Amino acid sequence: MIMGFSRRAGIFAILAALCFATVTIRANGQFGAPADTSAFTIPHDQLMQPEELNRLLHGGGAKPLVLQVGSRMLFEQAHIPGAEYAGPGSQDAGLDQLKSRVAPLPRNTFIVLYCGCCPWGRCPNIAPAFNLLHGLRFTRVKVLYMAENFGTDWAAKGYPVERSR
Protein backbone atom coordinates (compact mmCIF):
# COMPACT_ATOMS: atom_id res chain seq x y z
CA MET A 1 0.00 0.00 0.00
CA ILE A 2 2.78 2.45 0.81
CA MET A 3 4.35 1.63 -2.55
CA GLY A 4 1.02 2.33 -4.29
CA PHE A 5 0.62 5.59 -2.38
CA SER A 6 4.10 6.79 -3.35
CA ARG A 7 3.46 5.94 -6.96
CA ARG A 8 0.15 7.81 -6.95
CA ALA A 9 1.73 10.76 -5.19
CA GLY A 10 4.50 10.82 -7.81
CA ILE A 11 2.02 10.72 -10.66
CA PHE A 12 -0.05 13.43 -8.99
CA ALA A 13 3.06 15.61 -8.55
CA ILE A 14 3.96 15.18 -12.21
CA LEU A 15 0.42 16.06 -13.33
CA ALA A 16 0.35 19.07 -11.02
CA ALA A 17 3.69 20.28 -12.41
CA LEU A 18 2.43 19.90 -15.98
CA CYS A 19 -0.75 21.81 -15.18
CA PHE A 20 1.25 24.59 -13.51
CA ALA A 21 3.59 24.79 -16.51
CA THR A 22 0.66 24.95 -18.93
CA VAL A 23 -1.07 27.71 -16.94
CA THR A 24 2.18 29.66 -16.68
CA ILE A 25 2.84 29.42 -20.42
CA ARG A 26 -0.70 30.50 -21.26
CA ALA A 27 -0.62 33.38 -18.79
CA ASN A 28 2.65 34.65 -20.21
CA GLY A 29 1.23 34.47 -23.70
CA GLN A 30 -1.93 36.31 -22.71
CA PHE A 31 -0.57 38.81 -20.25
CA GLY A 32 3.05 39.28 -21.27
CA ALA A 33 4.28 42.23 -23.26
CA PRO A 34 2.17 42.70 -26.40
CA ALA A 35 3.70 42.08 -29.79
CA ASP A 36 4.53 45.08 -31.99
CA THR A 37 1.51 44.20 -34.12
CA SER A 38 -0.92 44.37 -31.18
CA ALA A 39 -3.34 47.27 -30.97
CA PHE A 40 -2.46 47.38 -27.26
CA THR A 41 0.95 48.86 -28.18
CA ILE A 42 -0.66 52.09 -29.36
CA PRO A 43 -0.28 54.75 -26.65
CA HIS A 44 -3.53 55.71 -24.96
CA ASP A 45 -3.04 59.40 -25.78
CA GLN A 46 -3.02 58.48 -29.49
CA LEU A 47 -6.50 56.96 -29.33
CA MET A 48 -9.72 58.71 -30.31
CA GLN A 49 -13.21 57.65 -29.28
CA PRO A 50 -15.92 57.29 -31.96
CA GLU A 51 -18.04 60.13 -30.52
CA GLU A 52 -15.03 62.46 -30.69
CA LEU A 53 -14.39 61.68 -34.37
CA ASN A 54 -18.09 62.07 -35.17
CA ARG A 55 -18.06 65.54 -33.56
CA LEU A 56 -14.94 66.51 -35.54
CA LEU A 57 -16.45 65.37 -38.82
CA HIS A 58 -19.65 67.34 -38.22
CA GLY A 59 -18.05 70.43 -36.71
CA GLY A 60 -17.05 73.55 -38.57
CA GLY A 61 -13.31 73.16 -38.17
CA ALA A 62 -10.67 71.42 -40.24
CA LYS A 63 -11.41 67.75 -40.75
CA PRO A 64 -8.82 65.01 -40.41
CA LEU A 65 -7.88 62.66 -43.21
CA VAL A 66 -9.65 59.43 -42.23
CA LEU A 67 -8.03 56.26 -43.53
CA GLN A 68 -9.47 52.76 -43.19
CA VAL A 69 -6.66 50.19 -42.92
CA GLY A 70 -8.72 47.00 -42.73
CA SER A 71 -10.30 44.80 -45.36
CA ARG A 72 -11.62 46.20 -48.62
CA MET A 73 -14.82 44.15 -48.24
CA LEU A 74 -15.55 45.81 -44.89
CA PHE A 75 -14.86 49.23 -46.40
CA GLU A 76 -17.18 48.61 -49.35
CA GLN A 77 -20.00 47.37 -47.13
CA ALA A 78 -19.89 50.42 -44.86
CA HIS A 79 -17.36 53.04 -43.85
CA ILE A 80 -17.09 56.43 -42.21
CA PRO A 81 -18.26 59.13 -44.64
CA GLY A 82 -15.30 60.72 -46.40
CA ALA A 83 -12.91 57.96 -45.32
CA GLU A 84 -10.49 56.54 -47.84
CA TYR A 85 -9.47 52.94 -48.17
CA ALA A 86 -5.72 52.68 -47.56
CA GLY A 87 -5.09 48.92 -47.72
CA PRO A 88 -4.88 46.29 -44.99
CA GLY A 89 -2.26 47.22 -42.42
CA SER A 90 -1.40 43.59 -41.77
CA GLN A 91 -0.06 43.03 -45.29
CA ASP A 92 2.99 44.47 -47.02
CA ALA A 93 0.89 45.48 -50.03
CA GLY A 94 -1.50 47.36 -47.73
CA LEU A 95 1.33 49.16 -45.97
CA ASP A 96 2.79 50.08 -49.37
CA GLN A 97 -0.62 51.49 -50.39
CA LEU A 98 -0.81 53.49 -47.16
CA LYS A 99 2.73 54.76 -47.63
CA SER A 100 1.94 55.90 -51.18
CA ARG A 101 -1.21 57.68 -50.03
CA VAL A 102 0.53 59.72 -47.35
CA ALA A 103 3.85 60.30 -49.17
CA PRO A 104 2.93 63.74 -50.59
CA LEU A 105 1.36 65.00 -47.36
CA PRO A 106 2.98 67.39 -44.88
CA ARG A 107 4.16 65.48 -41.79
CA ASN A 108 1.82 67.53 -39.59
CA THR A 109 -1.34 66.41 -41.45
CA PHE A 110 -4.05 65.35 -39.04
CA ILE A 111 -4.71 61.67 -39.83
CA VAL A 112 -7.17 59.28 -38.15
CA LEU A 113 -6.67 55.57 -38.78
CA TYR A 114 -9.31 52.96 -38.20
CA CYS A 115 -10.00 49.33 -38.98
CA GLY A 116 -13.01 47.93 -37.11
CA CYS A 117 -12.61 44.37 -38.39
CA CYS A 118 -12.73 42.67 -35.01
CA PRO A 119 -12.26 43.27 -31.28
CA TRP A 120 -9.43 45.68 -30.48
CA GLY A 121 -7.06 43.10 -29.01
CA ARG A 122 -7.25 40.88 -32.10
CA CYS A 123 -7.00 43.53 -34.83
CA PRO A 124 -4.04 42.67 -37.07
CA ASN A 125 -4.17 45.91 -39.07
CA ILE A 126 -4.16 48.98 -36.87
CA ALA A 127 -0.80 48.76 -35.07
CA PRO A 128 1.29 48.11 -38.23
CA ALA A 129 -0.38 51.08 -39.95
CA PHE A 130 0.13 53.30 -36.90
CA ASN A 131 3.76 52.22 -36.59
CA LEU A 132 4.37 52.95 -40.28
CA LEU A 133 3.06 56.50 -40.01
CA HIS A 134 5.11 57.15 -36.91
CA GLY A 135 8.16 55.73 -38.66
CA LEU A 136 7.49 58.19 -41.49
CA ARG A 137 7.50 60.95 -38.85
CA PHE A 138 3.84 61.96 -39.03
CA THR A 139 3.16 63.96 -35.88
CA ARG A 140 -0.66 64.18 -35.74
CA VAL A 141 -1.83 60.58 -36.03
CA LYS A 142 -4.78 59.32 -34.01
CA VAL A 143 -6.31 55.87 -34.00
CA LEU A 144 -10.04 55.37 -33.71
CA TYR A 145 -10.62 53.04 -30.78
CA MET A 146 -13.23 50.42 -31.58
CA ALA A 147 -13.52 47.97 -28.71
CA GLU A 148 -15.64 45.44 -30.62
CA ASN A 149 -15.86 46.32 -34.34
CA PHE A 150 -17.12 48.92 -36.81
CA GLY A 151 -20.71 47.68 -36.67
CA THR A 152 -20.99 47.78 -32.88
CA ASP A 153 -18.83 50.82 -32.12
CA TRP A 154 -19.81 53.08 -35.02
CA ALA A 155 -22.81 52.02 -37.11
CA ALA A 156 -25.00 50.67 -34.28
CA LYS A 157 -24.49 53.89 -32.33
CA GLY A 158 -26.17 55.81 -35.15
CA TYR A 159 -23.08 57.49 -36.53
CA PRO A 160 -23.29 58.02 -40.30
CA VAL A 161 -21.96 55.45 -42.77
CA GLU A 162 -21.36 55.39 -46.51
CA ARG A 163 -21.55 52.33 -48.70
CA SER A 164 -19.44 51.69 -51.77
CA ARG A 165 -21.86 49.21 -53.32
CATH of the domain at 96: 3.40.250.10
Within-domain flag for 163: no
Q: Is 151 exposed, middle or buried (0-12, 13-18, 19+ CB in 10 A)?
A: middle
Q: How many structural domains does the chain have?
A: 2
The pTM (predicted TM-score) of the whole model is 0.78
Co-location of 24 and 64 in the same domain: no
- Determine the structural domain holding residue 8 and report its residue range: 1-32
In tens digits, the chain (165 residues) has pLDDT values of 444 556 555 554 454 444 444 433 333 344 444 467 788 899 999 999 999 999 999 998 889 999 999 999 999 999 999 999 999 999 999 999 999 999 999 999 999 999 999 999 999 999 999 999 999 999 999 999 999 999 999 999 999 999 986
How far is the C-alpha of 44 from the C-alpha of 114, rounded, in Å? 15
Q: In this structure, what DSSP letter does residue 157 have?
A: G
To which H or E segment does residue 144 belong?
Answer: strand 140-144
137: left (phi over 0), alpha (psi -120 to 50) or beta: left
Within-domain flag for 70: yes
Co-location of 9 and 81 in the same domain: no
